Amino acid sequence: MKENQVIETALQNLQQTRNITGKLAQAGKKNGADAGLELTLPGKTGPQHFNIEVKKELRAYHLPDIEKKAATDPQFMLVAENIFATLKQTLREKNIPYLDAAGNIYINNRNGYIWLDGNKANKTIERTRNRAFTKAGLKVIFYFLNDPLAVNHTYQQITAATGVAIGNMKNILDGLKTAGFLLRVNNKELQLINRKTLLERWTTGYREILKPALFLGNFELPKEGIKLNWEKLALLPGAVWGAEPAAAMMTGYIRPGVLTVYTTGNKFKLQLAWKLVPKENGELKLYTRFWKDIPTADPLMAPPLLVYTDLLITDDPRNLETAELIYKKYLENELEQY
CATH at residue 188: 1.10.10
Cα 213 from Cα 227, distance rounded (Å): 26
Same domain, 23 and 94: yes
Helices 317-326 + 304-312 axis angle, to 10: 160
| Residue 202, in any domain of the structure | no
In a domain, 125, yes or no: no
- The parent domain of residue 178 ranges over 131-193
**Do 216 and 331 sit in the same domain of this protein?**
yes
Q: What is the pLDDT of residue 286?
A: 92
DSSP alpha helices (H): ranges in the chain? 3-18, 63-72, 85-93, 135-146, 155-162, 169-178, 195-205, 211-214, 243-251, 267-274, 304-312, 317-326, 332-335
Residue 28 has a pLDDT of 62
User: For 190-221, how does the pLDDT look when each residue is reduced to its tens digit (9 = 90+)?
Assistant: 998 888 888 988 998 898 899 999 999 999 88
- Per-residue pLDDT band for 9 (boundaries 50, 70, 90) equals confident
Both 167 and 221 in a single domain? no
31, 135, 192 from 182: Cα distances, Å? 22, 19, 5
Mean pLDDT: which of 40-54, 119-133, 180-194, 224-238 is highest?
Answer: 180-194
The model's confidence at residue 313, banded by pLDDT at 50, 70 and 90, is confident
pLDDT confidence of residue 189? 87
Q: Are residues 172 and 101 in the same domain?
A: no
Whether 102 and 135 share a structural domain? no
pLDDT of residue 139: 95
Inside any domain, residue 70: yes
Domain boundary among 82, 116, 150: 116
Asked if 118 and 20 count as a contact pair (C-beta separation under 8 A), the reply is: no
Last residue of a domain, one of 63, 88, 116: 116
Distance of alpha carbon 264 from alpha carbon 188, whole angstroms: 35
Of the candidates 272, 310, 285, the one whose C-alpha atom is nearest the C-alpha of residue 230 is 285
How many domains are there within the chain? Answer: 3
- Evaluate whether residue 166 is within a structural domain: yes
Looking at 63, 93, 116, which one is the last position of a domain? 116
Same domain, residue pair 329 and 215: yes
